[in-house]
Amino acid sequence: MSDHLTGFRARLEAGPTVFAAWCGMREPAVLETILREGFDCAILDWQHGYHDQTSIETAILTAQAQRKPALVRIGVGDFAGAARFLDWGAIGIIAPMINSAADARMMVDFLKYPPHGGRSWGPTRATAMLGFTNPEQVKRGNDVTLAIAMIETRAALAALDDILAVPGIDGVFVGPADLSITLTGGATVDPLHAEVTAALKVVAQKGRAAGKIVSAFCPDGARANELTTMGYQLLSVGTDGFMLRSAARAELAKAKSG
């Protein structure tokens, strides 16, 4: 019944690459429509998207209606809020700007039950969604729900080995836009920058060697296709906003082309 949730980690580990619909828009029909095109799961963007708490909750259920897991990309350091999203049934949390082992340990402390962390009890919907009893939630929750650290600064790259070694960190997620900003000293933002591509290779190699899930944001499908060959296990492809804009622009250009 809930294999798509309890089996998500195994699916990521076994491959092939899992593709996520990046959802920043509050309107549930947007996520519903995009997911139906064959995406495997949803990433709900709380950090920079338009979401409020109600729309995150609705989006988790919208994905669930298609038996697809939903992960939430939280705000910087917003770990207390993140634990609530897990309670509501999110299968994973993607935390931005994890720049050190201390940041990673703080994240784990909020998102994992002992022995790894000190997550507070209160899985409002999660136990029912996962099909767990309360004791099963404590025993299996740590394994089933994913704590994924974003690698998106020069400092994070320097601390990558230490971040990967923190018990309870399940994976890393590269944020190529922020990474390009820090790697170029603020000169540009370019998620396809050559230095970002080089960093993506390093993160894939080190993350896989450490037995962690390696994942990344991709501005478009061509980039996602390229990253599957680097060993990435979870990739977001574009965003709802990008796709709407580019389709709108392209169709209007055709209409005006004479």
Q: Which residues does the annotation mark as catalytic?
A: 48
The binder of 238, among Mg ion, ligand 3PY, none, by C-beta within 5 to 8 A per type, is none
Piece of the chain touching Mg ion by CB under 5 A; list 64-72, 146-154, 186-194, 242-250: 146-154
Does 141 bind Mg ion (CB under 5 A)? Our answer is: no
Piece of the chain touching Mg ion by CB under 5 A; list 72-80, 168-176, 196-204, 236-244: 168-176
CA-wise closest residue to 229 among 190, 193, 183, 197: 197
| Least distance CB 152 / Mg ion (angstroms) | 5
**Cβ atoms of 186 and 200 closer than 8 Å:** no
Sign of CA dihedral 181, 185, 186, 192: negative
* Binding residues for ligand 3PY (CB under 6 A): 96, 152, 175-178, 191, 217
Does 178 bind Mg ion (CB under 5 A)? Our answer is: yes
Cβ-based nearer residue to ligand 3PY, 12 or 199: 199
DSSP labels, 13-74: HH-S-EEEEEE--S-HHHHHHHHTTT-SEEEEETTTSS--HHHHHHHHHHHHHTT--EEEE-
CA-wise closest residue to 110 among 99, 101, 121, 100: 121
The binder of 240, among Mg ion, ligand 3PY, none, by C-beta within 5 to 8 A per type, is none
Cβ-based nearer residue to ligand 3PY, 89 or 191: 191
| Residue 215 to residue 59: CA distance in whole angstroms | 21
Does 191 bind Mg ion (CB under 5 A)? Our answer is: no
Cβ-based nearer residue to ligand 3PY, 74 or 169: 74
Interface residues toward Mg ion, by CB under 5 A: 152, 175, 178
